[in-house]
Each structure stands twice: as structure tokens, then as C-alpha cells.
Chains A and B, each alone.
Chain A
Amino acid sequence: MTEENLVRILDGSTFVVSDGRGDIEATPTSPTGFFALDTRFLSRWVLTINGQRLDALSADDLQYFETRFFLVPGTATHYVDAALSVIRQRMVNDGFDEELTVLNHSQERLDLDVRVDAGSDFADLFEVKDAVAKKGNYYRRIEDGKLRLGYEREHFRRETVLWASEPAELDDDGMTFRIGIPPNGQWHTRIRVVAETVVPTGHDLRMGLQVHGGEKRAMEADLAEFVARAPTISCESEALAGTYRRSLVDLAALRFAPISMPGQALPAAGLPWFMTMFGRDSILTSLQALPFVPELAATTLKVLAMLQGSRLDDFRDEDPGRILHEFRYGESAAFEEQPHSPYYGSVDATPLFVVLLDEYERWSGDADLVRSLESEARAAIAWIDDYADLVGNGYIWYQRRNETTGLENQCWKDSWDSLSYRDGTLPGYPRATCEVQGYAYDAKLRAARLARLFWNDPGYADRLERQAMELKERFHEDFWVADGEYYALALDADGRQVDTLTSNIGHLLWSGIVDERYAPRIAEHLLGPRLFSGWGVRTMAEGEVRYNPIGYHTGTIWPFDNSFVAWGLRRYGFSEEAATIAEGIIDAAQFFAGRLPEAFGGYARSLTRYPVVYPTACSPQAWSTGTPMLLLRTMLGLEPHEGHLAVDPALPTGLGRLELLDIPGRWGHVDAFGRGRIDVTDRRPLRETHGGAVT
């Protein structure tokens, strides 16, 4: 079964991935299962009737946490004439509930054995694709009418507990219902599946993990309220309205309540591999969603501040003041086979933490949070100046200290070949990527504003502003690629430019580190034929040695990347260019039913006519989900200004009229209106000619 046919339902870090009939038969290549806390709690879950597998007539996604399968016995034929059918309805709620209804369509009584096979490999998420041999022991117990599947390694214990509302015969491999259904009658049971993390003292690790109550009505009410609190959209473009609504619901689904902060939610990075907190992903998604769901930013800031690095730890790449990269709760983190407890190997999360704190205050007016996080923000700035400056020349560098399980690339383009010189060779370590220097510049200016307004330290503010100005000048001298007229992707330890043309230059516009005089050249590159495909900006420019339209960070198009690039273009006054990118990405979203993928192929739009699906790991993915929101903000020109919300629309004509109502913030709720006046179609044929020529 291909990944696209899998059915996924989720709630925070708990999710079920099954095939189209609701069955789970995990293999290394088919990562199905019931997952919680980075552990697979069921790897087998198969429904049979009289020993026969069932076939799906249809599967309906009811909510992000609920799905329903209509099933009949036997394999698919063009002609179905079943004497019975099954409705299998499943809902994730701190575990999951499975409601089975068997309908007898015949005139005779049916005597049936309804069987559910259950089994678990308790694989850590990091082992799912490798089928690693487990170091602990499995056990199975039947007690009090419940089947308990367990795994134990020293004190580490994970259990899956199953029971049914109707009488069932339990055995080590599942449960059987021996039932008789009268003519035209039906039979019904509810099976409850719960993941437990029992420790010897009897306390569960996950006390209060949920964002809301586990009852179905509570979950429905919570979702309805989440959607109702966000601004409503009214527009002529169904593509835009559809992708916005889809994103809002997906963002609700991706909310994740960290163990240490029950009842509050931040965005997890993505299903299925990244349903946990990531510094970078949680911050960038919170930034994208700020005008829509501002409370995510507050929780992200509080949680990341609480777990801010406080000491030197080489295994975790932790330094004082550093913001975490990734926190995991599975076996590999518990036994320190992986460093995620938490792992700190990211260089962008720390400056971005300060950026989010300031941007959050500008929207929300939440001065209390800014005051309460003063020491954490100062520690983050101190980290930039000290621990991150491995070369001693005023830049943020990275080189992992954990050389076995740490991350080699600690920027968002974290694959092994994402950074290369024009000749295709890879630089050594340490490395200083350009966009991170931009984030540091922005962080210092924003911290200066906070220091002046809230921390009562104008001297610190002056110092930070002076440092930022010096950084901006130095950055241009060191990173400007003279013969290409753009900024290098990175510097190597010798100060040599890693000189490929990449989308990273767009982030520099967002951060404001680009000198106004050079900004037009950057905009030209971003919308030029080498970077712009017609759908969006490629991660790496066509023509580079390592360019590959389906290379993860060497040619694909990342919607989230484009949302920040567009924001940056608007910041420098390139409204048309920003609108062009926004329209391309929104057009692409239509091909994915409104749900933007993590990345799609970098092929020219004129060549393929549709965005080529990248065989991606994650969907929905948080910062792709946040993309339509940031594009809306960018196109409407929403900007907090002296306590009110400024609106300065610059919309492509294709979108027609657009209204965004009830935008929350320090102003209460405000509406924004715009009408498409920018004709981007006259830009496109030019690009398509160029794009199409390179084949």
C-alpha cells in the first residue's frame, strides 16, 4: 500500500495510521500503527469476520481525529452483494476508540466470529523504518477482561491495554466476538485502546497531556471554538479560502501539549515523524499563525524558555542560553541512544526565539510575557555572541559535538548535501549559513526595542543596535558574491564563500539585513528563471551542479520557505514580486486539496503544468500548514503599528476580492479588505519561456 492511500487520524502526539480499510499491518516500508509518545503501541490491528478479511467500500474523514470505514467481507469485485456489512468508526482521544457495527442485510440469522488481531512491536519512532532488534522483553497478560500488551526494558515500561464493551474471548493475539445477529438486525461494540507508560511508583509519565477533554463532544467543541476564534475569510478565490480553512483545521490537529505544560498547546512539526516540539518548526509556525491563532506563540515561547539550555552537554549539543531543537519521549531518548532529551543542535532556534517574542508583543501587547522572559531573551542573545561564535569573527557557526547521533547541519536545510560550493563540493566545519546571520541581526534589533520599552535598559538597547549595524556592514562584505550579485549560502571556516545561489537569500530580506541598495538584485534573483519555477522559489537555483528538481534541499520548492521569502519581499517594497509568489503557492495548493505538502518538485510550471509531488515524509506539516496564513498576512500587508493594525493590500488580480474578518490583537478585532490589482500573469509567460527552455 502506498503512503498516499494510508488513512491518518491524530490528536497531538497520539495518532493512528492505517490502510484504507482501517487495518494495521506494519512493515518497515509501511509505517502504519497506533503511535503515542514517539512509540508505536500497535503494529498489528486486523479485523476479520469468520476468518475473512474485509474490503473497503469507502473511508470518510469525519474530523482530524475521527474517521469511518464502510466494509464488506471478501476482496473487491466490480459487483458487491454482501449479506452483511461493517461500519468501523475510529476516534483518537488519548488512545483510540473503535466502534464496530455489523449489519445483517439478509432474511436469515447470521452466526459470526468477529475477530480483531492485536499486536505491538513497541518500536521507537526512530526504529520504525529500520526494524531494529529490541533490547527489552515483550509480555502479554489478560486480566479483568482486558488484554495488556507490554514491553519492558529495565524500568522502562510501555503497555497497550484493550477491552471491549461487549463480551469477548480474549487471547494473547487479540479478541473474538461470537455473535448471532437476527434478520435485518445489527450488532455493535466499542473497543477501547489505551497507551500506558507505567513506572514502578505507579505514576504515568503523561499526566494531563491533552489539550482538551477526551470525550468526542469536548473534542468537537474544542475544534469548533478554535476555528471560531480565528479570523474568517470571505473571498472570490475558492482556492485561497479552501486552503485557509484546511490549514486552520490542520493546525488544530497539530497542537501538541508538552508533558511539562499540561493544557497548553504549541504546534508540533508534522505527521507522522515529527509529532513533537521542535524549536525551529514551532517558532516559525507560531510566527506564521500569529495574526490568526496568537496563543500558539505564547505557549511556544514559554515552553522553549523553560527548557532553554543551562549547561554544557556535548551529547545533547547543549550550551547555556541555547533554544532546543527537538524533544522526544521514546525509548531511544530514554536510554540515550539518541540525544533528544532534549537535543539542542540547531543554530536558528535561538535568534528566532527572540524574533518571535518581539513579534508576539507587537501583535498581542502582552507586556507581561516580555517582562517575564527578559532573562531568557538576554541569555539567547548572549549565546549568539559567545557559544555560537566558534570562529570569533562575530557570526553564528555550527559544528556538532555529538559526532555519532548529533546533526551535521543545524540550519533548516539539514540534509547532508544541502550546502555546496558552485563546483558541487561540500564545505568542512564549522559552517556559517547566511540566513542565520540575518536572524541574529533581526533578533538584536528586536531585543533592543524590548530592552527600551519593557526592560528599562536603554544602554543595552544601544549596544545591541550598534552590534546589529556593524553586523549588517560586515555581513555584506563577507557574504556578497561579487560575480553573481547575491549573498553566498554560507561561509566556511577559512572565510571562503559557499557560493551557490539558493532561496536563503529571501530569508535575508525578511530579516532586514540586506542593504536597500542591493535589495533589487536579490528580488530579481528570487523571481528570476533560475530560482522561480512559476509555482514558487526553489531551494537551490537551476544550473547549480547539485541542482535536482526533486532534491530535498537542492531544488524542491518548500511552501514555508516561500511564505517567508514573500514576507521579506514585501518588507522591502517588492509587492508585485511577493504577490507573484503568493499566487503561485496558492495555485499549487489546489492540487493538494488545500493541504500544502512539505515540499514539491522544482520543475518549471510550464513543463509539468501541475506541481510534482515529492515523496515526502510528513503531511500535514506544521510550517506548510502555516504558509497560507503568512501569505494572507503578506498580501494584505497586515502590520501592527503603534497599537493598531495597518492594512496595505497588494493582491494578485486572480484572487479578486478578499476580506479577512475579526483579526485578533491588541486592537481587539479588526477587519481587513483588499482587491486583486496586481497582474502577475504578465510576469509568468516570461518565466515559463525561460523555465521551459532548460530541459
Chain B
Amino acid sequence: MADSIARFFEGLNHHGHEARLEKLNGTVRIELHDNGHSEHWLVTVKRGEITVTREDHVADATIYASPELFGRIVRGEANAISALLRGEMSTAGDLQLVVRLERILPGPANVLGPHRLAHAGRAAS
């Protein structure tokens, strides 16, 4: 579980430019609490460039979750918006930043995708 979280942040740090976050500037702190033990990451987005550090300071938005839940989210096993509505995850600060960051999280594993008919090819263009 800790591995998938570490891998996720490492991947995010090496993600480079993310077109979907181009309009975004800000910092999001992710705080994971587990029985008194807590860990934190700081995700900085500058015009689509993402960097991740372990710096410990206040951010524009903060996400609070358990490592168990966050591990499931980064593995595509849990949905972050539902977790927010459920109260299992919570946020403070600029919610728009959180929602935009949520868009680049992985989707569920083992999806079928569109039910394309067997003979479906690409559209003529």
C-alpha cells in the first residue's frame, strides 16, 4: 500500500507537463493519517508543470485521508469524488484545485470501455 502511494507521487513528480492542468497554479498538500502517524506530500502545479516534494508547509488546498484509502485511490480501486462525498476523505482550502487534480488520477482498473461493435473501425474523416 505504502509502495503504491510512493510510486504514485514519484510518477507524478516525473510526470512533466500535464496539458489538463495548464490553467492551474497552486499547491496541494496531501496529509495521510493513520493511528497517530501521519505523512505528507506537497504537490506544486505551475502552468501544467507538476513537482512533488515532502516539504512541510501550508498549501492552497489540503487533502486529508487515510493511507489505506489513498492507496486505493491511486491504484484506481476507489473514486476520490465519492470518497469526498462520503466524508472518508476531506479537504480544506481551494476545492477547485482538488477537483482539477482529481481529474488526472488513474481511473478504475479492468474497465471494458465503449462497447464497440465487432466490425467497428475508425470513422471516415
CB neighbours (8 Å) of A315 from chain B are 108
CB neighbours (8 Å) of B57 from chain A are none
**How far, in angstroms, from A155 to B95 measured CA to CA in the complex?**
19
CB neighbours (8 Å) of A239 from chain B are none
CB neighbours (8 Å) of B64 from chain A are 201, 203
CB neighbours (8 Å) of B114 from chain A are 319, 387-388, 390, 399, 401
CB distance from A569 to the nearest CB of B (A): 30
Given contacts A207-B95, A390-B116, contact A375 B86 (CB under 8 A): no
- A390 contacts which of B22, B82, B95, B117 (Cβ < 8 Å)? B117
A310 touches B20 (CB 8 A): yes
A201 touches B85 (CB 8 A): no
Judged by a CB distance under 8 angstroms, whether B91 is at the interface is: yes
CB neighbours (8 Å) of B119 from chain A are 391-392
CB neighbours (8 Å) of B92 from chain A are 201, 203
A157 touches B87 (CB 8 A): yes
B117 touches A260 (CB 8 A): no
A336 touches B19 (CB 8 A): no
**How far, in angstroms, from A306 to B79 measured CA to CA in the complex?**
17
Judged by a CB distance under 8 angstroms, whether A222 is at the interface is: no
**How far, in angstroms, from A61 to B1 measured CA to CA in the complex?**
57
**How far, in angstroms, from A262 to B99 measured CA to CA in the complex?**
13
CB neighbours (8 Å) of A100 from chain B are none
A467 touches B125 (CB 8 A): yes
CB neighbours (8 Å) of B112 from chain A are 314, 401
Given contacts A201-B64, A259-B95, contact A154 B86 (CB under 8 A): yes
- B123 contacts which of A319, A393, A463 (Cβ < 8 Å)? A393
Judged by a CB distance under 8 angstroms, whether A119 is at the interface is: no
B90 touches A389 (CB 8 A): no
**How far, in angstroms, from A100 to B62 measured CA to CA in the complex?**
42
Given contacts A372-B23, A375-B22, contact A306 B115 (CB under 8 A): no
B115 touches A401 (CB 8 A): yes
CB neighbours (8 Å) of A313 from chain B are 79, 107-108, 111
- A341 contacts which of B81, B103, B120 (Cβ < 8 Å)? B81
Judged by a CB distance under 8 angstroms, whether A112 is at the interface is: no
Judged by a CB distance under 8 angstroms, whether B10 is at the interface is: no
A392 touches B117 (CB 8 A): yes
Contact with B along A493-517 (1 / 0, CB 8 A): 1000000000000000000000000
Which of A269-277, A327-335, A644-652 lines the interface with chain B? Answer: A327-335
CB distance from A592 to the nearest CB of B (A): 36
CB neighbours (8 Å) of B104 from chain A are 310
Count A-side interface residues using an 8 Å CB cutoff: 56
Residues B74-100 near A (CB distance < 8 A): 79, 81-82, 84-88, 90-92, 95-96, 98-100
Judged by a CB distance under 8 angstroms, whether A674 is at the interface is: no
Interface range on chain B: under 10, 10 to 19, 20 to 34, or 35 or more? 35 or more
**How far, in angstroms, from A13 to B107 measured CA to CA in the complex?**
29
CB neighbours (8 Å) of B22 from chain A are 375
Residues B1-44 near A (CB distance < 8 A): 19-20, 22-23
B111 touches A335 (CB 8 A): no
CB neighbours (8 Å) of B120 from chain A are 389-392
Judged by a CB distance under 8 angstroms, whether A470 is at the interface is: yes
A372 (CB) vs chain B CBs: closest residue: B23
CB distance from A492 to the nearest CB of B (A): 11
B19 (CB) vs chain A CBs: closest residue: A375
Given contacts A199-B90, A333-B82, A372-B23, contact A312 B115 (CB under 8 A): no
CB neighbours (8 Å) of A261 from chain B are 96
CB neighbours (8 Å) of B108 from chain A are 312-315
A341 touches B90 (CB 8 A): no
Judged by a CB distance under 8 angstroms, whether A249 is at the interface is: no
Given contacts A390-B114, A390-B117, A392-B122, contact A336 B99 (CB under 8 A): no
Judged by a CB distance under 8 angstroms, whether B124 is at the interface is: yes
Judged by a CB distance under 8 angstroms, whether A19 is at the interface is: no
**How far, in angstroms, from A463 to B23 measured CA to CA in the complex?**
27
Judged by a CB distance under 8 angstroms, whether A668 is at the interface is: no
CB neighbours (8 Å) of B98 from chain A are 260
**How far, in angstroms, from A401 to B92 measured CA to CA in the complex?**
34
CB neighbours (8 Å) of A329 from chain B are 85
B79 touches A314 (CB 8 A): no
Given contacts A312-B111, A341-B79, A385-B125, contact A306 B90 (CB under 8 A): no
Judged by a CB distance under 8 angstroms, whether A311 is at the interface is: yes
Judged by a CB distance under 8 angstroms, whether A294 is at the interface is: no
A260 touches B99 (CB 8 A): yes
**How far, in angstroms, from A316 to B92 measured CA to CA in the complex?**
26
- B107 contacts which of A312, A392, A429, A470 (Cβ < 8 Å)? A312
Judged by a CB distance under 8 angstroms, whether A676 is at the interface is: no
Judged by a CB distance under 8 angstroms, whether A680 is at the interface is: no
Judged by a CB distance under 8 angstroms, whether A200 is at the interface is: yes
- B100 contacts which of A306, A389, A401 (Cβ < 8 Å)? A306
A199 touches B87 (CB 8 A): yes
Judged by a CB distance under 8 angstroms, whether A307 is at the interface is: yes
A334 touches B82 (CB 8 A): yes
CB distance from A395 to the nearest CB of B (A): 8
Judged by a CB distance under 8 angstroms, whether A480 is at the interface is: no
B98 (CB) vs chain A CBs: closest residue: A260
B86 (CB) vs chain A CBs: closest residue: A334
CB neighbours (8 Å) of A205 from chain B are 84-85, 87, 90
Most buried by B among A198, A336, A386, A467: A336
CB neighbours (8 Å) of A389 from chain B are 120, 122-123
What 8 pairs between A and B have smallest CB-CB spacing? A311-B107, A392-B120, A155-B87, A334-B85, A199-B87, A334-B86, A394-B123, A199-B90
A/B interface sample: 16 pairs, CB < 8 A: A155-B86, A156-B85, A199-B87, A200-B87, A262-B95, A306-B96, A310-B107, A311-B107, A314-B108, A316-B79, A342-B81, A385-B123, A388-B114, A389-B123, A392-B120, A493-B117
Residues of A within 8 A of B (CB): 154-157, 197-201, 203, 205, 207, 259-262, 306-308, 310-316, 318-319, 329-330, 333-336, 341-342, 372, 375, 385-394, 399, 401, 429-430, 463, 467, 470, 493
Given A341-B79, A342-B81, A385-B125, output 14 extra A-B contacts at Cβ < 8 Å.
A156-B86, A157-B87, A200-B90, A205-B87, A262-B95, A308-B103, A333-B82, A341-B82, A375-B22, A387-B114, A389-B123, A393-B123, A463-B125, A470-B124
